[in-house]
Structure 1
Amino acid sequence: MGKKRTRPADADPAVDKLDADADSSSDDDMEIINVDFELFNYDATIDFHGVKSLLRQLFDADASLLDLSGLADAVVDQNTIGSTCKVDDKANDAYAFLTVLNASAAPTDGPVAKLASYLAERARSSDDRALAEAAPALLSGSGEGGPVVGLVLAERLLNMPAEVIPPMWGCLMDEVEAAVEDGEAYGFTHYVVVSRGYYEVASALDGPKVKRAREAPGPGVLRYFHPEDEEVRKHAAAAGTYAFVKEDEVNADSKRAFQEMGLKSVGFMMVIEAAAFKGAVDAMRAFVGSVV
Structure 2
Amino acid sequence: MSNKKNKEIEVHDSESEEEQPSGDEKDPDFDSDGNYIGDKEDLMADFEGRNPEDCDFHGIKQLLRQLFLKANVDLGGLAQIIISQNYVGSVVKQCLDDGLDDLDDDEDDGSDGVFGVTTVINITKRKEENCIQQIRTLLTTLAEENADDRTKSLIKNILSNDQQHVGLVLNERILNIPAAISVPLFASLQSEIDKAVQKNMPYTFQYIIWICKTYSSEDEPGELLYANMEESRLSEEALASFDVNVTDQTDLSQWDYEGGTLTPFRKILIIEGNKFNGLVRQMKEEVEHAVGEQKSN
Assess same fold via TM > 0.5: yes
Is residue 198 from structure 1 mapped to residue 230 from structure 2 by the alignment?
no
- The 8 Å contact of residues 54 and 156 in structure 1, kept in 2 or not, is answered as yes
- The 8 Å contact of residues 19 and 34 in structure 1, kept in 2 or not, is answered as yes
For residue 230 of structure 1, the aligned residue among 229, 232, 244 is 232
- The 8 Å contact of residues 11 and 181 in structure 2, kept in 1 or not, is answered as no
Change (3 A) 1:272 1:248: closer
Instruction: Give the deviation of 1:264 after TM superposition.
Output: 1.6
CA RMSD, 1 decimal: 2.7
- The 8 Å contact of residues 4 and 53 in structure 2, kept in 1 or not, is answered as no
Instruction: Give the deviation of 1:158 after TM superposition.
Output: 2.2
Mark the runs of 5 or more structure 2 residues left unpaired by the alignment. 18-41, 102-107, 292-297
Instruction: Give the deviation of 1:137 after TM superposition.
Output: 2.2
Deviation string, structure 1 residues 215-271 (Cα, Å, up to 9, x no partner): xx6953211111222212222222231234x72764234x33x42433221111111
- The 8 Å contact of residues 38 and 85 in structure 1, kept in 2 or not, is answered as yes
CA distance in 1 between counterparts of 2:165 and 2:4 reads 22
Is residue 178 from structure 1 mapped to residue 170 from structure 2 by the alignment?
no
Look up the equivalent residue of 2:77 and give its one-letter code.
G
Deviation string, structure 1 residues 104-151 (Cα, Å, up to 9, x no partner): 111435111211221122123234555333233212x143xx210011
Q: Secondary structure of 2:53's match?
A: coil
Alignment match, 1:86: 93
For residue 36 of structure 1, the aligned residue among 37, 46, 53 is 46
Is residue 113 from structure 1 mapped to residue 133 from structure 2 by the alignment?
yes
Alignment match, 1:104: 124
Instruction: Give the deviation of 1:19 after TM superposition.
Output: 6.1
The aligned length equals 252
CA distance in 1 between counterparts of 2:87 and 2:283 reads 23
Look up the equivalent residue of 2:75 and give its one-letter code.
L
* TM-score (normalizing by structure 2): 0.76
Alignment match, 2:265: 266
Look up the equivalent residue of 1:43 and give its one-letter code.
E
Is residue 251 from structure 1 mapped to residue 271 from structure 2 by the alignment?
no
Instruction: Give the deviation of 1:99 after TM superposition.
Output: 1.1
Change (3 A) 1:127 1:148: closer
Deviation string, structure 1 residues 79-102 (Cα, Å, up to 9, x no partner): 111001111247552111011111
Is residue 132 from structure 1 mapped to residue 152 from structure 2 by the alignment?
yes
Alignment match, 1:25: none
Instruction: Give the deviation of 1:21 after TM superposition.
Output: 4.7
Alignment match, 2:59: 50
Change (3 A) 1:107 1:129: closer
Q: Which has the higher contact order (CA 8 A, sep 6+)?
A: 2
Change (3 A) 1:233 1:20: same
Q: Secondary structure of 2:91's match?
A: strand
Look up the equivalent residue of 2:93 and give its one-letter code.
K
- The 8 Å contact of residues 236 and 276 in structure 1, kept in 2 or not, is answered as no
Alignment match, 1:26: none
CA distance in 2 between counterparts of 1:42 and 1:154 reads 14
Q: Secondary structure of 1:268's match?
A: strand
Instruction: Give the deviation of 1:283 after TM superposition.
Output: 0.7
Is residue 67 from structure 1 mapped to residue 102 from structure 2 by the alignment?
no
Alignment match, 1:239: 241
Look up the equivalent residue of 2:164 and give its one-letter code.
P
CA distance in 1 between counterparts of 2:148 and 2:260 reads 26
Aligned pairs for 1:140-159 (under 5 A) are 141-143=160-162, 146-159=163-176
Change (3 A) 1:21 1:224: closer
Change (3 A) 1:128 1:165: farther
CA distance in 2 between counterparts of 1:197 and 1:83 reads 23
* TM-score (normalizing by structure 1): 0.77
Look up the equivalent residue of 1:36 and give its one-letter code.
D
- The 8 Å contact of residues 14 and 176 in structure 2, kept in 1 or not, is answered as no
What fraction of aligned residue pairs are identical, expressed as a percent?
27
Asked which structure has the greater CA Rg, the reply is 1
Change (3 A) 1:274 1:266: same
CA distance in 2 between counterparts of 1:100 and 1:107 reads 14
